[in-house]
Structures are given as C-alpha cells and as structure tokens.
Amino acid sequence: MAESVEAQPAEPTSGRWRSSGLVGSIAGASGVAMALAFGEFVDDLSEPVPSLVIAVGEAVTDYTPGDVVAFSIANVGASQKTLLTAGIVILTFLVGARLGRSAAGGRRDVAVVGFAAFGLLGGWAAARNPLSPALSSWAVALAAAALAAATTLFLVSRASAASQPPAARKADNADKDNGDENDENAAADAAGRTAEGDLDEGRRMLARGGPRRSFFGYSAGAAVAALGLLGLGRSLREPSAAQRARQIYTLPPRPPARTPEASAGAAGAPAGTGVQVPEGIEIPGGVELPEGVAIPEGVAIPEGVAIPEGVEIPESVEILENAEALEGVEAPDTEVPDAAVPDAQQPAVAEEEPTAVAASPQPPDDSPATATTTARASEESGAPAVQAPEEPPPTTTQAQQEPPPTTTTAPAPDEPPATTTSAPAPEEPPATTTSSTTTTTTTAPQSRSSLHPQVSHLDTLDEVPGIAPYVTPITPTNEFYRIDTALTVPQVDPDRWRLRITGLVDNPYELTYQEIRAMSLSDHVITLSCVSNEVGGDLVGNAIWTGVPLNVLLQRAGVQRGAQQIVGRSVDHFTAGFPTTTAYDGRNAILAIGMNNEPLPLRHGFPARIVVAGLYGYVSAVKWLEEIHLTTWDGFDGYWVPRGWSKQGPVKTQSRIDVPADGSTLAAGETVAIAGVAWAPTRGIRQVEVRIGDEAWAPCSLGEAAGDESWVQWYLPWTPEAGGRRRIQVRATDGNGSTQSSNNVRPRPNGAEGWHTIRVNVRA
C-alpha cells in the first residue's frame, strides 16, 4: 500500500508540466496582447504619447550598427521599417510566452520581473522621443507591463486549477485543517484510501472540460479584449493637427515666369541671386568644388584646395597661399547685389494655380523652343554664372513646329560629338536619313506634356511605357522614395512649429510657418537620391520643390567667420550637415515647404525640410526641420557619419534601365523600347549610351529637362534579330564630360558606382 501511495504523484506532476508548456505560453502571449493593445489604445487617444512598439523600434534603429543598416536598406529598401516593427511584435510575443511558462512552472517572480523589465524598456524608449512627454510615456509603459503581468498570472492560476486533480486538492485541505505536523502518516493513509476514487472523479471532471474550458474561455476573452481595444482606439482616433493643416493650406502664389532674356538658365533662378555673400566663409579642408560652378565673392579658399577647371573666381575672392589653380580658371568682374529678407506677413490661403517656374519659361509660339541640360546664369542679372566646358558641346533637344526625323550622327574623330533629338509629329512616321558619315537613326515616341505647369513645355519621354515619369508622382499614389529613421511619420502642428536659426550667427532668430509662407517663394526641379541606392535602384526621385533659398535665411542671421557647416536638425533629432559654401555656390539649396505644387506631404517633411541639389539626402535632406545650426566643419557630425558613412555626400553620376524589365522575355523581330533615366545633379547629363551584348555603345535620345539639377529620361529603340539571352548595359556622361565608371562600388560609404546591367530572353 505504501508503494502504491508513493507512486501516485507522478500523474499530477505530468499534468503540471503540460500546463507550464502550452498553457503557460498561451497565458504569457495573452498578457502581451493586452499590453500592446493598451499601448496602441493610448497612442490613438493621445497624439503626443507614441506607440510602445514604434518607440522601441526607433531606439533599435538609432543603436543599430551601420553595417546592419546598410544591409537592410540594400536588401529590403523602404520595407525595412515594416519588417522591423513586425519583428519587434513577434519577439515580444515569444518572450511573453516564455515568461508565461515560467509562471506556470511555479516561478511567478521571474514572470513579474520580466514584464517589469519590458515596461522599463518601453518607458525609456518612449520618453527619449523629443516629441513625447516623458512622464506620460513612463506611466503608459509601466501600466502596460503591469497589465501584462496581471493577465498572465491570472490565466496561469486558472490553468493550475484545471490541471490539479481533486485528490491533491483534498489532501491539501486536509493538511491545512489538521494542523498537526507530526501526524503525516495518518494523512497519507487517508489520502491513500481515497486516491483511486478521487483520481477517477478528477478524470471525469477534466473529461467534462469544466476548469479547462474556463482557462481557454478567459484566454479567448483576453484576445477579444485586446482586439477590442485596438478597434476602439482606431475608431476614436482623430486626424492630427498636421493632417488637418495640410488639408487646409495650399501653396502661396509664386512670381510669374521671367522672359528668356532675363534668365538664360533652365533650372530656376540661382540660389545666390540678390543675396549678399558673407565675408570670411571658408571651404572646409578636403571639400571638392564642383566643376563649372561659380565661387561667390568673399569666400576664402584655404591652402591646398584645388580649383577645378572651368571655375570662375571673382576678383574679390582671396586665393590663399598654395591654392592650386587649374587650367581654364577665369576671374571676371562680378558683383553680388544685396537683398533684404522680405517682411513676414500673414498670407491668405491661395486658391489659384501656381505660376510656372521662374527660370524655365515656355518659349513663344512663333519661335522654336531650345532647351539644354546645362544651366547658365544670366550675366545681366548679376547672378553667379555656371560655365560649361567648351568641348564637347552639350546635348541639345529641339522641338519644332514641323518636327524632322530623329537623327544621331557620329562625326569625324577630331570633332566633338553633337547629339540632336527631335520629337516627330504623331501622324507622320519618322524617316531614316543617311549621309556620308556613319549615321544612327533613333525613333523617339511622341511625349506628352507634364501635368505640372512649371514643366508643361518640356518635351519629355513620359509616353514611353514603363519609364519613370519626369516628375515623380506623390498623389494620388506616392511614388517618391522615403528613407529615414522615423518608423512613424512625425505629426508636426504648423501653428505651434518654429524654425530656429542658431549657432555661429550674429542674430539668432525664429520663423513661423506663416512667416515662411509670406516670403518670396520659387519653384525648382531637383532630383534627390539616397546614398544607399544600389546601381539601378529606385531610391531616387525628381520633384518640383517650392521654397526659399537658404542663403536668404542666413543673410538675416549674419553668418560669422568660421561657420563652415550648416546642420539641419529634425523634430525627432535626426541631423545632417553640409558645407556652408553650398548655399552660395550657385546651386539651389532651399528651405522647401512645397512639393509638386502641394504643401509638403507629411511623409516627406511637412511643414518644412531642406533640399540641396547635388548632395545625397543623408548629408542634407532633413525632413520635419526645426533648427538650422551654423558650426565649424569639425565641430559636428551628422547622424550617419559616426555610423560609417562619409561626411561629404556629392551625388555621383548614375543611369538606370526602366524597360525592359530584368529577366523579361522579348520576341525576335519586334521593336521594343530600351529606356530609363540618368542623373548628375548640378552637372547635368550630356549623353546616355546603351550596349547590347558586346556590340558598340549606341547613343540614346534624351528627353528635355528643366535644368542640370534634374534627371533626364533617355530612350533607344531596339529590334532583336535572333533568339537567345542578351545583356543590356547603360552608362551616362555628365555635363563635365565624365563618364560613369564600370567599376562596381557598394553604396557605403559615399554612394554606389557601376553600369546598370540587365539580361533579357529573346524568343525566336
């Protein structure tokens, strides 16, 4: 009998083990579900308090090594945020399930400590967000952790009741009622006499599913409660102040287009026009000056900085000792006029359609329109000139009333190449022309006008099926890439928002959104690219940006000597820095409040951001801007620099094949379009060439562009003659005559290099 009594505890122990496995995991996961749902519910009701999942995700982003970030962007692109968020949720459920098993196994203190640690982590992550109130963030996180622990322990207690046989419960009660610790044998005899009958009773009870049904019922109730909290929060959530404001505001009217005589440029008025360049701004050591860009007056060129060929040096510019001047440097008589920052006024909401971009006017109807991809500033306007190299001449695109056939002629070797592209009338097929020289005829499809008035006069290649539109759409479907460190879009109320100009300035000041809207705004067509963009990648876009030149803002502040770097700071404390001289070297460097004739979309930086032509976004394009800070070059590193990326980020010349798609199948004998885009902001694109297999490089037709700061569409018709697999490559030559290198270079640390290559199958 004694042996029989000693063997009885084996079955209850096995039941408790099973409870601490599956049942404990269910209990812990249910607790996590309640905690996460509570956090999301509070986030929906209170705009300043962030989601705990998002807060943890942003902390993970900030502390992730640069190599991991580069790998994730290269392999999943913009989807990295979704995957990170999903990963955090899954990991949280797994850890919660493990804590539930510990609680079911009798180690409830471990579960409590574990959930408390989760609460501390969530509170720290939420409180570090500069947009979140710290006290509320901590309170919500700790409350969520307490809810998770309470839910888990409650369900574990129900699971324990379901797995404990009645015999064990009666024995426990007998021990408590007896109170005689020396009478253990009597208790064992009593338990032995009833063990067999009570076990049968327990099995019948569990078979009926009473307590176990109770456990699963409570677990299901927790899941329903969590889903209910999520649904209720979403239904009660109202549009943020930023969302409401963006629906109300339209962009103020911009100045009408100037005549061609007033501006020969194609990319808009130079940023330095009418702005006094501060004296003593130094070019940081090692910063390369782009060829063909005029250096403003008052800029001191430090010792050892090479001045590229074609750069104009005003007479008043001081060239320090040992500064190396290259061939072609001119020193013209140039004065930069002063201009005052316009007084801020409260504008009315504009209802009229914005006028065309100032420096990209539509030619008169009675004369042919000629546009080049090289922007030149008008000497009469006193703006910094952009001088193109004399040889070879830039690619020219002409649209005539009676369009001739599209012809590309290869001249004799001693002459610079000249490529002319014309769009034929749709009702007349283009004719092939021949000459004594080697002639290649290309046929460009009739392009349609852009929907945006600033570029409606351009003869683009938007009609080519599959090619990226000249202006990247943001509505109704956003196609402009987004890469940033924010897992959710910051909601910035423009009525409370202020832009601060601080640092090495004489007069620090603040601007409101309305004051910026009251300034003299202008439109600029600028291509932006992410430094993480792989060769042939889609992390690049072209848009019409509306804003105010940065040098206008800096003029009011009074830039001090030694202010070599402009640092932009976002409301979520992201930072990026670039040389101060960039705001004065003739390119467009603007504080933007509009994109494609709309206020900035929330995801692209509403209410204001920085856009600098020719620089990768990681060193310049700060969205949700709250501060412009002037400092020394060595005094501050932007967000990505300590993570292994270069401090300088000039955009490299790149080209991409949009059609045909890589791996697609084509039919022999049928003409198809090989087309895509190419970009080299501030330098422009002179030529794009395509090579099929081992054939010679063939020049492509180029669509018109608004200027050197935007990308160019290109096109080449191709008729495969036989079946097989074909390799197609593309390369571009920028306005300075430099052709893309064939060397494959990874994006980190300062941008990818190489020829975009695809392969297609030709079916005979």
C-alpha dist (Å) from residue 528 to 51, 321, 505: 31, 36, 29
Closest of 227, 164, 170 to residue 33, by C-alpha: 227
Task: Look up residue 20 and give its DSSP letter.
Answer: I
Angle at 246 between CA 241 and CA 247, to 5 degrees: 100
Instruction: Encode pLDDT of 415-465 as tens digits.
Output: 333 333 333 333 333 333 333 333 333 344 444 445 789 999 999 999 999
Report CA-CA distances (Å) from 722 to 440, 681, 725: 21, 39, 10
Q: Which residues contact 185 (CB under 8 A, 6 or more apart)?
A: none
The H or E element that residue 30 is part of is: helix 24-45
The Cα–Cα gap between 319 and 327 comes to: 15
As given in the structure block, the two tokens for residue 202 are 């327990």
Closest CA to 108 of 46, 76, 52, 154: 154
What share of the chain in percent tops pLDDT 90?
Answer: 51
Supply the pLDDT for residue 288: 55
Mean pLDDT, residues 580-603 taken together: 96
Examine the pLDDT at 58 and tell me if it is beyond 90: no
- Report how far residue 574's alpha carbon sits from residue 8's, in angstroms, rounded to the nearest whole number: 65
Mean pLDDT of the chain: 75
pTM of the predicted model over 0.85: no
CA gap 746, 750 in Å, rounded: 9
Q: Which of 250, 253, 241 is nearest to 497 (CA)?
A: 241
pLDDT given for residue 44 in this prediction? 85
In contact, 33 and 222? CB cutoff 8 Å: yes
Predicted pLDDT at 200: 53
Q: Lowest-confidence range among 51-55, 276-280, 505-509?
A: 276-280
Position 116 pLDDT exceeds 60: yes
Render pLDDT for 382-417 as a digit per residue (tens, 0 to 9): 333 333 333 333 333 333 333 333 333 333 333 333
- Least confident stretch, 108-117, 128-137, 280-289: 280-289
pLDDT, one tens digit per residue, over 17-33 is: 444 578 889 999 999 99
For 308-320, the pLDDT digits (tens) are 444 444 444 444 4
Q: Do 370 and 545 meet the contact criterion of CB atoms below 8 Å apart?
A: no
- 547 beta partners: 522, 592
Both tokens of 203, joined, read 């099995």
Least confident residue range of 195-209, 365-379, 550-564, 693-707: 365-379
Instruction: Classify 210 as helix, strand or coil.
Output: helix
Contacts of residue 705, Cβ cutoff 8 Å, sequence gap at least 6: 266, 371, 373, 458, 470, 525, 684, 685, 711, 712
Span 750-762, average pLDDT: 97
> Which tokens is 662 given?
């890589």
What is the rounded CA–CA span in Å between residue 403 and residue 326? 42
H or E, element range at 219: helix 210-236
Residue 331 has pLDDT above 60, yes or no: no
Instruction: Give the integer Cα–Cα distance in Å for 712 and 691.
Output: 18
Cα angle 620, 281, 587; round to 5: 45
Query: Whose structure tokens read 């945020």?
Result: 81
As given in the structure block, the two tokens for residue 485 are 């460190």
